[in-house]
Amino acid sequence: MATRTRRSQRRTEALSRERIVEAAVELLDAAGEGGLTFRALTERLATGPGAIYWHVANKSELLDAATDAVVAAALAIEPAESPDAPRGKIRAVALGLFDAIDEHPWLATQLATQLSRSPWGSVTPRIFESIGRQVGAVGVPEGSQFTATSALVHYILGAAGQNAANGRVLGPDVDRGDFLDAVSKAWEELDPDDYPFTRSVADQMREHDDREQFLAGIDLVLAGITALHLPNGQASAPPAT
């Protein structure tokens, strides 16, 4: 039959900003940052570049819109029944972002650039708000809430960003175990004089689990907030996982 990838299938719905953003996300997911081009976009949407530019100012705005859409979706996933009060909710929000970056690796870089470019954009307040509310609920006094929330958000973005493409480095065909093994081995072969520490934790790196590790970090920051910002060092031990 030789049915090539459906060609010039006449567009049935009119073009719209949402449809364009949706297609952009699909392209980014499929081929990463480099996969989003106006050429690819016009083909997928069966139009010309002019049509897209009528709905969107430029590529940068399109990238921002795609980021915003994915983050909004990730934060919209409520844990339904609140699991165990504020600390649990903070973990849930953090994991939501972690998983979103895991599913959309391009998010990591995009988040970093966008956050540093315009902290008043819609993404920062969104994340900030979700975390901040729970920080207040934990009992952190008003004067420390900005500091505590910032620390959490920074940790989340830093950690999620790094973990992002870890598994995807060489495509989905690479086994996670093989990958960690390779990194671990590379670390073990570093110069003993220059890298004693990194060598010594090479095996811990081999055995670690990204999500577990990520959550452990969240608990670390939460413990710090408890120790430094709660009047009395009240119960802060994380629940057994």
Partner DNA sequence: ACCTGAACACCGTTCAAGT
Chain residues in the site for DNA (CB under 7 A): 11, 14-15, 36-40, 46-51, 53-55, 58-60
Q: Both tokens of residue 138?
A: 């934990």
State which residue, 42 or 109, has the beta carbon closest to a second copy: 109
Report whether 123 contacts 115 (CB < 8 A): yes
Give least dist CB 12 to DNA, A.
Answer: 11
**Exposure class string for 18-49: b at 16+ Cβ within 10 A, else e:** eebbebbbbbbbeeeeeebeeebbbeebeeee
Q: Of these, 15, 151, 211, 230, which contacts a second copy (CB under 8 A)?
A: 151
Give least dist CB 219 to a second copy, A.
Answer: 7
Give least dist CB 56 to DNA, A.
Answer: 8
Task: Give the interface segment with a second copy, choosing from 40-48, 51-59, 68-76, 111-119 (CB under 8 A).
Answer: 111-119
State which residue, 19 or 59, has the beta carbon closest to a second copy: 59
Map the footprint of a second copy across residues 177-196, applying CB under 8 A: 182-183, 186-187, 190, 194-196
Q: How far is Cα of residue 134 from the mean position of the Cα atoms in its chain?
A: 19
Q: Of these, 20, 27, 36, 222, which contacts a second copy (CB under 8 A)?
A: 222
- Is 164 a binding residue for a second copy by CB under 8 A? The answer is yes
Give least dist CB 26 to a second copy, A.
Answer: 21
Partner from DNA, a second copy, none contacting 164, C-beta within 5 to 8 A by type: a second copy
Report whether 93 contacts 130 (CB < 8 A): yes
- Is 62 a binding residue for a second copy by CB under 8 A? The answer is no
Partner from DNA, a second copy, none contacting 208, C-beta within 5 to 8 A by type: a second copy
State which residue, 29 or 188, has the beta carbon closest to DNA: 29
Q: Of these, 141, 158, 192, 239, which contacts a second copy (CB under 8 A)?
A: 158
For tokens 């953090």, the residue is: 94
Q: What angle do helix axes 17-31 and 38-45 make, rounded to 10 degrees?
A: 120
Q: What is the 3-state secondary structure (H, E, C) of 51-118?
A: HHHHHCCCHHHHHHHHHHHHHHHHHHCCCCCCCCHHHHHHHHHHHHHHHHHHHCCHHHHHHHHHHHHC
Residue type at 41? L
Give least dist CB 93 to DNA, A.
Answer: 32
For residues 130 and 93, what is the distance between their CA atoms, to the nearest angstrom?
7
